[in-house]
Each structure stands twice: as C-alpha cells, then as structure tokens.
C-alpha cells in the first residue's frame, strides 16, 4: 500500500455542551495540528457549531458532520441536508455510524446517505463494523454484507469520494480505551479490501482510504496505524481532550 497523508477525524458526537466550549476545544485542536507534515485533521462537531468553527478554521482544519438526511431538500422536520451541511463549511460527512445504526438506520438508508453526501460535493466517511466476534468467524460475512450493502448504487468513479471507517462496535466507547490491536486490525483491513475488490476491482479497493475507530487514544494510536496499516483514525472521546489528541496527532505524523 502506497504511503500517503494520514487523516485523523475527530467525532465530537453530542459534545461539548456549549458553543463557547466548542470554540475553545477547536482552537486547541487547531494549535495542536499546526506544523503537521504527514497528517491532516478533520473535526466533526454538532451541526449547530459548524458555521462558527468554519470561521475559526480558516481552512486549516477540515470540517465534517456526523450525519446527513437521505433527502436533499423538502418537508423533513428536524433533518439537515448534505447540501446545507456543505454550504455551512462541511467537506466530510460521517455516515452509518454504529450509534445511528443502533437507532434503526439500515444499510439501504446508509447507502442513500453516502450518495447524497457525494452529490453535495462532500467526502463520505462510511462506518462499518461488527457488533461482536464469534469463534466461527460468522461476523466476517456480516461485515462483508454491511459494507457491500452500504455502498449499493455507488459507482466506481464516485467511490473515490468515499472513506471507509472500520469501527468494530465492541471497541467503541470502552471505558479503559481497550481498542483493537494493530495486528488483528491488519487482517480485517485486508479482508475489507478483499470485499471491496469484489465490488470495484483490486486497484480501486486498494486505493481506498481506510480509517480505524473505536477507543483510540494516545497510548494505542501508533500501534493501530503502524501495524494495522490504516490511513488514519476516527477518534471519539480523545478528540475532545486537546492534550491527548495532540499526542495522537504528533505520533501519527511521525509514522
Ligand atoms: P471512541 O468513539 O473513540 O470514544 O470510542 C469512536 C467513535 O464512535 O467514532
């Protein structure tokens, strides 16, 4: 796999509680990201903070959203469209996060969101991951189905605008930051690329950007990226702690 710029995406989820705190955290992240030579940083805040953070970013930190509507416009109370997110400064959209899938989002819905995000000019960060692992390896079939179905209707040339984020659900939000280890991740990374090969061919599959997410912190980030041979990270809690996040960034930048 050829070497390219790593991507570190912070998923703030429904945090922090005020815009002021969001601005402070963002400023600290921006400072931490200064001078990175081999890594780029994207922050995905709550929608409400997007416009203000875009002003602070001045293009130095990428911005993304954590979800988009399946529809592009119209009578969909409470929804935010991909085009609206893009016009507020989002260049990336996380789609199919396990916390949204747990609220009932099916692969078909996720595939539609991937498509609208691309149509709005954004890059879709498509999350996939098994709930648990079984000895017989049945989870691999689930993973394959989830990935292929979540990409249903996406053309090969559109796929260059899709980033895959492998997030094993069992590793997300662990209190002890017990993430998947790099060695196991490497195997799953190859497996996912094999599944993608079946859909888009080998060249496209191996050119795809693959991130890992699930309890990443400054202690495990290096092993995950180095030994897992992934192109970057999707970071939850640690992305809200500027000190630890800064350490993650500098470790990844030095790989
Ligand atoms: P975590 O969250 O890093 O807090 O486990 C990751 C995610 O859900 O994207």
What pLDDT is recorded for position 59?
Answer: 87
Q: Quick one: which atom of ligand 1 is closest to the CA of 234?
A: 9
Whether 39 shows a pLDDT value over 60: the answer reads yes
Minimum CA distance residue for ligand 1 atom 3: 236
Whether 149 shows a pLDDT value over 90: the answer reads yes
Residues annotated as catalytic are 97, 167
pLDDT tens digits, one per residue of 172-216: 999 999 999 999 999 999 999 999 999 999 999 999 999 999 999
CA of 30 to the centre of ligand 1 (A): 20
CA of 212 to the centre of ligand 1 (A): 10
Determine whether the shortest distance from the Cβ of 237 to ligand 1 is under 6 A.
Answer: yes
- Do the Cβ atoms of 42 and 10 come closer than 8 Å? yes
CA separation for the pair 151, 66 (Å, rounded): 18
Averaged confidence pLDDT in the chain: 97
Interior/surface letters 172-200, b for 16+ CB within 10 angstroms, e for the rest: beeeebebbebeebbebbeebbebbeebb
pLDDT classification of 5: cutoffs 50, 70, 90:
very high
CA of 236 to the centre of ligand 1 (A): 4
pLDDT classification of 118: cutoffs 50, 70, 90:
very high
**What secondary structure does DSSP assign to 178-207, as a single string?**
----HHHHHHHHHHHHHHHHHHH-HHHHHH
* % of the chain with per-residue pLDDT over 90: 98
Write the burial class of residue 104 (CB in 10 Å: 0-12 exposed, 13-18 middle, 19+ buried).
exposed
Pocket of ligand 1, candidates 236, 244, 248: which has the most ligand atoms within 8 Å of its Cβ, to mutate?
236
Average pLDDT score over residue span 4-21: 97
Task: State the pTM of this model.
Answer: 0.98
Average pLDDT score over residue span 136-147: 96
Minimum CA distance residue for ligand 1 atom 6: 236
Whether 1 shows a pLDDT value over 60: the answer reads no
CA separation for the pair 137, 54 (Å, rounded): 43
Whether 2 shows a pLDDT value over 70: the answer reads no
Average pLDDT score over residue span 47-66: 96
CA of 98 to the centre of ligand 1 (A): 10
């Amino acid at each position: 796999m050829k070497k390219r710029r790593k991507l570190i995406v912070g998923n703030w989820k429904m945090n922090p509680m005020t815009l002021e705190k969001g601005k402070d955290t963002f400023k600290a992240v921006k400072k931490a990201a200064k001078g990175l030579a081999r890594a780029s940083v994207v922050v995905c805040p709550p929608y409400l903070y997007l416009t203000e953070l875009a002003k602070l970013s001045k293009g130095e930190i990428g911005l993304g959203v954590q979800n988009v509507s399946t529809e592009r416009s119209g009578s969909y109370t409470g929804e935010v469209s991909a085009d609206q997110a893009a016009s507020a400064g989002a260049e990336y959209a996380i789609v199919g996060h396990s916390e949204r899938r747990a609220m009932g989002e099916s692969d078909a819905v996720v595939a539609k969101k991937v498509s609208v995000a691309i149509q709005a000019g954004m890059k879709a960060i498509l999350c996939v991951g098994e709930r648990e692992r079984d000895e017989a390896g049945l989870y691999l079939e689930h993973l394959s189905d989830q990935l292929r179905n979540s990409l249903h209707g996406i053309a090969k040339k559109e796929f260059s605008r899709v980033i895959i984020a492998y997030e094993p659900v069992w590793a997300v939000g662990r209190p002890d930051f017990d993430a998947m280890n790099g060695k196991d991740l490497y195997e799953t990374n190859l497996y996912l690329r094999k599944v993608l090969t079946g859909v888009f061919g080998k060249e496209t599959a191996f050119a795809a950007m693959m991130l890992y997410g699930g309890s990443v912190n400054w202690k495990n980030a290096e092993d995950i990226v180095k030994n897992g041979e992934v192109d970057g990270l999707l970071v939850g809690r640690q992305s809200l702690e500027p000190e630890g996040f800064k350490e993650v960034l500098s470790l990844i930048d030095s790989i």
